[in-house]
Structure 1
Amino acid sequence: DEPRHAAVWSEFQQATRTRPPRAVPKFAMSSETDDEGPLSVDLGTYSRQIVTNIPRTSDGSDSSNARTYFDLGLRYFFAYMHENAYKMFLTVLTLAPDCALAHGLVALCHSPNYNFKGEAYYESTDHPEEELAVVNEPGANVQDTAATRGHYPYPSQQVAAQHAQMAMDRVDILKRAQRKRRSTASAADEEIDEEDNMPQPISDVEVELLSAICILTCQPGIDPKEAEKAVGRPYADALREIHERYPHDAEVCSFFAESLMVLNAWNLYEYPTGKPISKDVAEIQSVLEKALEIHPEHAGLCHLYVHLCEMSNEPHRALTACTALRSKFPDAGHLVHMATHIDVLVGDYESCVRYNLAALRADKSIMRASPDTAGPESFYFGYIVHNYHMLVFGAILGGFEKIARDCAAELNEHLNEELFISNPDLAAYLESYAALDIHILVRFGRWDEILRLPLPRHPLLMLFRTASLRFARGLALANLMRIKEAEEEADEFSKLRANPSSKLRILHNNNVYRLLEVDDPMLRGEIAYHSNRIDDAFELLRTAVTLQDELNFDEPWGKMQPVRHALGGLLFEQGKVDEAESVFREDLRFHPGNPWAAVGLIRCLGARLETSCCGGATAVETSRPRAAIQHEIDSLRSQVSEQRRATWADFEISLPCLCCEKVTNKRLEVSKLT
């Protein structure tokens, strides 16, 4: 009800000493209301069964709202909104200082996770000056420290270590109180203890979890190169022992599985074969699948299972978990989005767009509710731009031009030069998302529109956008047969690629240098092709395909447009039907059901049925029966027709790449003009 909600929200603000909210981007302010806040979002109804020392009244109700905060904290934690989660747990500690598990969960919120781990985590979260600032505060105690932690950097190894130690200190206090009670209390005394909310005995599973968390966090400032051996693997080993004793505890299963996954993050399977790399993979799979039989809608377990399956040969195994993620946590944008990792891999591009739109709606609610922890300068904002990225990728592969363009334009309202001028540190990991609109124009062959786009005023600050625009301009000019200008753009592109800062910028799992390394031979290959240097062109484009395949696994894939679409289309145009067919079949293995490669494959198969030269492709001998070829063509056409009935399908796909519009015709047109 309203009075209780207002009181709880007031407690949250006081406990976390919330800073004034940062500015929220325009696209997040569509329907702001006065009663929105971190407590109003719908993250599901999950509640952990075993949590001791949460004050209760005689009828068992939550007397201080501490349990409300604990449950919300855990839901935020599994929604990967760790900064909001840790503030919820801090509030628990102001209301229930004997809740040792809350200390441990604060520590976990500041610890490595599947998306932020290894050297990247340990190099960027070491803040020893913050530890000293709190420890040396006159009269600082556990409650003061908990309450003031909202002021300190997130995430922080020092915060994690301190709260893990506070948890163990609280465990010692609780155990001493328990021993004293056993030695002195009568039955009547026990009744009085319960009425006075005296500390309860802490459960064994909580003690064991807190001990394991202490292993992970006990060495703040550790050498990043030593962290896995010194704390990461021992933490997983400790959780394995706990899991053996408590195999039905959902949090134990989730923490244990993630501890192993962090040690093998984005490297669980060989790419692109899908073969397991680590012996940990079989154990992770066993833990998660057994736990999901008991807890099929647990957010943490479902989330991790998607990550486990996405690099495997059987991504569809996670579809049941995806159903839960789509429907049970409506305001958990990252969880709703996670299902689309599988949608892309099984070729359901419409669902990829639909559920990333749902994820963005949820995240806009979170940005209104918690602008300080979900706004553009927050850690979580990286997950929000990732939703835009995945949506655009699905739309590009699905041939949905308008929704792709609308989405990229909305993101660019915020990811502009002004943001990065004011916050240059953000450029290292956010600026690469500011080029989505350019890749959309390339995909849909909008050559004239590309040439009208202005170059950034600060090309090195906007390095990836500038390089992407040089790349796109080169492609556009080559396709318009303005070869000399295209070569000039390629030279400018190469200068940007060679800039040392390109190795310091990232787009999720790949650095910008490696992404531009793919673009370089693709651009020069297309220039060579349109210059009638056909052999050089194909050698360069094959190199680009190899470099693309060597990128780190990522969702979405590192390149917005598969190079194979250009290679296959131009091979076909030159009558190299066998290789073109192989290229399109391989692309469909990577991107099932995408209409671009399917159209290319239909053209190749059609050439096998020809009896004379047609459309630049000569008749191709084949041992396959004509009926079998025709059956495959009919099947592919049916698939493409069905795919083009998708809600956002608005672009007529007749070619695998818009660079394949018969270069001979282009030369004729240019000669007429000149």
Structure 2
Amino acid sequence: MGDMSLNLAAPDVDSYPYNLGSYSWKIDTNSKNCQTWFDRGLIWSYGFHHGEGERCFRYAVDCDPQCAMAHWGIAYAGGPNYNKAWELFDQADLKRALHNCHLAISKARELATAPLEVALINALYARFPSEREGDYHHWNRTYSEHMDQVYEKHGDHIDVVALYADSLMALAPWRLWDLHTGAPLEDSRTLRIEIVLENALQRSESLSHPGILHFYIHLMELSPKPELAIPAADRLRSLCPDVGHFNHMPAHIDLLIGDYRRAIASNFESIRGDELYMKHGSATDFYTFYRLHNYSYPRDTGRYSFPIYAGMFSGQFRVAMDTVERMEKSLTEDFLRIPSPPMIDWMEGFKSHRVHVLVRFGKWHDILQLPFPNDRQFYCVTTTILHYARALSYSILDQAEDAHKERELFRESRRKIYPSRFEFPNSWQNILNVTEAMINGELEYRRGNYTLAFEQLRESIKCSDNLVYAEPWGWMQPPRHAYAALQLEQGNVEEAAKTYAEDLGFSDSLPRAVRHPNNVWALHGYHECLVKLARHDEAKILEPQLTLALAVADISIESSCFCRRVQPAANQSMCCKS
């Protein structure tokens, strides 16, 4: 959390500018205002806005200093969570967290008398047994073991269920499922979490519980069957209207099932909530990472990422670019130069989203007009991505010499990227393995070295598939789209058809997380392949799906990648005839 005074005077409880819904957990306090601030802190914390959550818990303490659960809340909100494990705290942030959380939970232990509250407070104390650094993984395990016992005794309390599931998820954040096999990972408690949450979802009270719904979406999004979380996602939408993350989370499922329009709509509502918070709240806590993630799509980097990503998959250039414009206004240099937490390390990747959109939509001349940052070393990722896009643009525009120069500049720039730069949870060096193979494949293709070109593009696909799960994915344009488009250009229709079918999820050959159902690019490419292969019955079955996808797009789509220069005739895009 940011540097927050240990004692905060509570403002007027009725002037709070956010609508957080009606959920309440009745705690041991005689102060109505303390109860209100506690509920607000809890909802914000369930919504991964731990900075505002901690602030509300401190207001609760101001209203009733003897309220044990208000002090518990400060410790709960100030520590690690599913999206911010101990490893993600910088040194200054870690020191603050250990001090504040240990102090708060120790005070809570002194005050607690109600049996349930005593049990929860003693459990959380195991996560913060000291102000000094220690074995954080052991602390998390011990906390979860204590929560096992609390759950066994108090499992009828819906918040105990939520906190227990949260403690289990924190043991292996974002490592609950093996993406390639679909099985739970050995070091996780995935099956236990699934049982706990699905049992809870049979209870009517869970259907209005933001924590249960939120955690279930996180559990299932990496699973082989993310669609099972659709009911939870639909329940969570607008449950707490001004908590941006709750409006955003359903889009994780929307994207995985190919409902790009709904993903965009959910995130624009999320952005509305976030911008309301930015108007009244703080711009310097970890939540800003989520806010930008909502603009893009991810793992949680911001609400802006998702409309960009969904706009790219649905062929909506205006949605994607308009959102880039809004996001860039939030990425001021003063903000990115904040040292703790080190904003530039986590958020520079958002500066490159404009480039990704321009590549997706084939704006080669626009790319070549983009300026480089004034401080290229500070913006080392942005600089490197721009060299990639320029190499691609020159190659496609038949300026081979310039393309090869840009590839060398890309390699030189890549070597200068700080190892601390991440597009959470992937390091930029890992992501750029996808990029370099893509450049190599494109340049070899223009040389006529097709065998080598396709080897490199397959390497790009492999590197992309092996990135750590994130929404949006660490590399925002699937390399399969370029690979299949160029295979089609070379007349390798069967290989292109197979690749498009995999991308769309029409076969089980790919992990669920790297399929892109309903995306207009692969739908168009697959339909073209079916026609060329005279598989007209299959093409007719696909045609309504493609017609809808093309209607949503705001550009003319003639190939899955603008790198393909041999386009089908306009009258062939819907050419299935009986």
Per the TM superposition, whether the score is higher than 0.5 is yes
- Contact kept? 2:9, 2:59, Cα under 8 Å: no
* Matched letter for residue 545 of structure 1: I
Does the 8 Å contact 2:29/2:35 carry over to 1? no
**Which secondary structure does the structure 1 equivalent of 2:217 belong to?**
helix
The match for 2:109 among 168, 174, 177 is 168
Q: Which residue does the alignment assign to 2:192?
A: 283
Residue 467 of structure 1: CA displacement?
1.0
Q: Distance in 1 between matches of 2:180 and 2:8?
A: 45
Equivalence map 1:99-114=2 (5 Å): 99-114=67-82
Does residue 97 in structure 1 map to residue 65 in structure 2? yes
Distance 1:249 1:124, change over 3 A: farther
Alignment-derived partner of residue 196 in structure 1 = none
**Range 76-85 or range 540-549, more displaced:** 76-85
The partner residue of 1:445 within 354, 357, 362 is 362
Q: Which residue number in structure 1 is paired with residue 154 of structure 2?
A: 246
Among 342, 346, 350, the residue aligned to 1:429: 346
- Measured after TM superposition, the shift of residue 53 of structure 1 is 2.7
In the TM superposition, residue 458 of structure 1 has moved relative to its aligned partner by: 1.1
Secondary structure, counterpart of 2:551 in structure 1: coil
Aligned equivalents of 1:91, 1:664: Cα separation in 2: 64
**CA distance in structure 1 between the partners assigned to 2:491 and 2:13 by the alignment:** 62
CA-CA distance at 1:168 after TM superposition: 0.8
Where does residue 330 of structure 1 map in the other structure?
Answer: 241
The amino acid of 2:344's aligned partner reads A
* Pairing partner for 2:28 from 32, 48, 52: 52
Which letter maps to 2:81? Answer: N
Residue 540 of structure 1: how far off its partner (Å) = 0.7
Match of 2:536 in 1: 630
Within the candidate set 307, 310, 315, 1:394 is matched to 310
**Does 2:217 match 1:306?**
yes
Counterpart pick for 2:440 among 518, 524, 532: 524
SS at 1:465 equivalent = helix
Q: Distance in 2 between matches of 1:38 and 1:381?
A: 24
Partners of 1:455 and 1:469 within 8 A in 2 = yes
Q: What CA deviation, in whole Å up to 9, does each residue of 1:464-485 have, x standing for no partner? A: 2111111111111000000110
Residue 523 of structure 2 corresponds to residue 605 of structure 1: no
8 A contact 1:126–1:220 mirrored in 2? no
Letter in 1 for 2:425: N
Matched, 1:39 2:16: yes
Equivalent positions of 1:410-559 (< 5 A) are: 410-417=326-333, 419-420=335-336, 425-501=342-418, 503-559=419-475
Deviations along 1:397-432, whole A, 9 cap, x unmatched? 111100100110111123254644576932111111
Give the aligned partner of residue 83 of structure 2.
Answer: 115
Match of 1:644 in 2: 550
Deviates more, 1:328-337 or 1:265-274: 265-274
**In the aligned structure 2, how far is the partner of 1:306 from the partner of 1:167?**
31
After the TM superposition, which of the residue ranges 105-114 and 212-221 deviates more from structure 2? 212-221
- Residue 273 (structure 1) shift: 3.3
**Alignment partners' CA distance in 2, 1:509 and 1:18:** 36
Q: 1:587 to 1:38 in 2, by over 3 A?
A: farther
Question: Would you say the 8 A contact 1:69–1:88 is kept in 2?
Answer: yes
Partner Cα distance (2:228, 2:335) in 1: 41
Equivalent pair of 1:37/1:369 in contact (CA under 8 Å): no
Whether the aligned pair in 1 keeps the contact of 2:346 and 2:421 (CA below 8 Å) is yes
Is the Cα contact below 8 Å between 1:274 and 1:312 reproduced in 2? yes
Q: TM-score, normalised by structure 1?
A: 0.77
Amino acid of the residue matched to residue 285 of structure 1?
E
Q: How does 1:580-619 map onto structure 2 within 5 Å?
A: 580-589=496-505, 590-609=515-534
CA contact (8 A) 2:558 2:568 kept: no
Quote how far apart the aligned CAs of 1:603 are. 1.9
Rounded Cα–Cα distance in structure 2 between residues aligned with 1:94 and 1:645: 55
Q: How far apart are residue 437 of structure 1 and its match?
A: 0.8
For structure 1, the residue ranges without an aligned partner over 5 or more in a row are 1-11, 20-34, 56-61, 128-152, 172-201, 610-628, 666-674
In the alignment, what sits opposite 2:8? 16
Q: Give runs of aligned pairs for residues 257-268 of structure 1, distance below 5 A.
A: 257-268=165-176
State the match for 2:53 in structure 1. 85
Answer whether contact 1:524 1:540 (CA < 8 A) is retained. Answer: yes
Alpha-carbon separation, structure 2, partners of 1:651 and 1:38:
46
Mapped partners of 1:38, 1:655: distance in 2: 54
Q: Is the 8 A contact 2:423 2:474 kept in 1?
A: yes
> What's the CA shift for 1:37?
9.5
Cα distance between partner residues in 1 of 2:7 and 2:104: 16
Question: In 2 relative to 1, CA 584–431 (structure 1 residues): closer, same or farther, beyond 3 Å?
Answer: same
Tell me what 1:385 maps to. Answer: 292
Judging changes above 3 Å, is the alpha-carbon distance between structure 1 residues 36 and 73 closer, same or farther for their aligned structure 2 residues? closer
Q: Is 1:157 aligned to residue 98 of structure 2? A: yes
Helix, strand or coil: the match of 1:84?
helix
Query: For the Cα contact (< 8 Å) 2:454–2:483, is it kept in 1?
Result: yes
| Of 443-452 and 93-102, the range deviating more from structure 2 | 93-102
Decide which structure has the larger Cα Rg and report it: 1
Q: Secondary structure, in 3 states, of the residue corresponding to 1:644?
A: helix
Cα distance in 2, alignment partners of residues 383 and 54 from structure 1: 35
1:361 aligns with 2:272: yes
| SS of aligned partner of 1:382 | helix
CA contact (8 A) 2:10 2:60 kept: no
How far is 1:644 from its partner?
Answer: 2.9
Looking at structure 2, the residues matched to 592 and 36 of structure 1 have their Cα atoms a distance apart, in angstroms, of 46
Secondary structure of the residue aligned to 2:117 is helix
Distance (whole Å) between structure 2 residues aligned to residue 37 and residue 442 of structure 1: 49
SS at match of 1:504: coil
On the 8 A contact 1:66/1:91 being kept in 2, the answer is: yes
Say if 1:385 and 1:47 are closer, same or farther in 2 by CA, change over 3 A: same
Q: Please state how far the C-alpha of 1:329 moved relative to its aligned partner.
A: 1.1
Q: What is the deviation of 1:245? A: 1.2
1:454/1:274 Cα in 2 relative to 1: closer, same or farther (>3 Å)? Answer: same
CA distance in 2, matches of 1:304, 1:564: 31
- How much has 1:246 moved relative to structure 2? 1.4
Are residues 1:572 and 2:488 paired? yes
Q: Return the alpha-carbon distance in structure 2 between the equivalents of residues 216 and 518 of structure 1.
A: 38
* AA matched with 1:543: E
Note if contact 1:329-1:335 (Cα within 8 Å) is conserved in structure 2: yes
Over 3 Å counting, the alpha-carbon distance change for 1:257 and 1:483 in structure 2 is same
Give the direction of change, closer, same or farther, for the CA distance of 1:663–1:591 in structure 2 (3 Å limit): closer
- Post-superposition shift, 1:124? 5.8
Q: For the residues of structure 2 that align with 1:592 and 1:494, how far apart are their CA atoms?
A: 34
**Secondary structure, aligned partner of 1:293:** coil
C-alpha distance in 1, partners of 2:139/2:532? 60
Cα shift at 1:222: 2.7
**Cα distance between partner residues in 1 of 2:103 and 2:220:** 35
Look up the equivalent residue of 2:365 and give its one-letter code.
Answer: D
What is the one-letter code of the residue matched to 1:113? N
1:618 alignment counterpart:
none
Contact 1:43-1:332 at 8 Å conserved across structures: yes
Does the 8 A contact of 1:598 with 1:640 survive in 2?
A: yes
Measured against aligned partners, the alpha-carbon deviations of 1:286-327 in whole angstroms (never above 9, x if no partner) come to 111111222112111111101100011110111111112212
Q: CA deviation at 1:663?
A: 9.7
1:355 is displaced (CA, Å) by 0.8
CA distance in 2, matches of 1:664, 1:580: 14
Contact 1:353 1:391 in 2 (8 A): yes
Are the aligned partners of 1:420 and 1:461 in contact in 2 as well (CA < 8 Å)? no
Cα 1:368/1:256, change in 2 over 3 Å: same
**Corresponding residue number in structure 1 for 2:253:** 342
Partner of 2:560: 656
**TM superposition outliers: structure 1 runs of 4+ over 6 Å:** 35-38
Q: Percent identity?
A: 30
Equivalent of residue 228 in structure 2, options 317, 322, 329: 317
One-letter identity of the residue aligned with 1:598: L
Determine the structure 2 residue equivalent to 1:197.
none
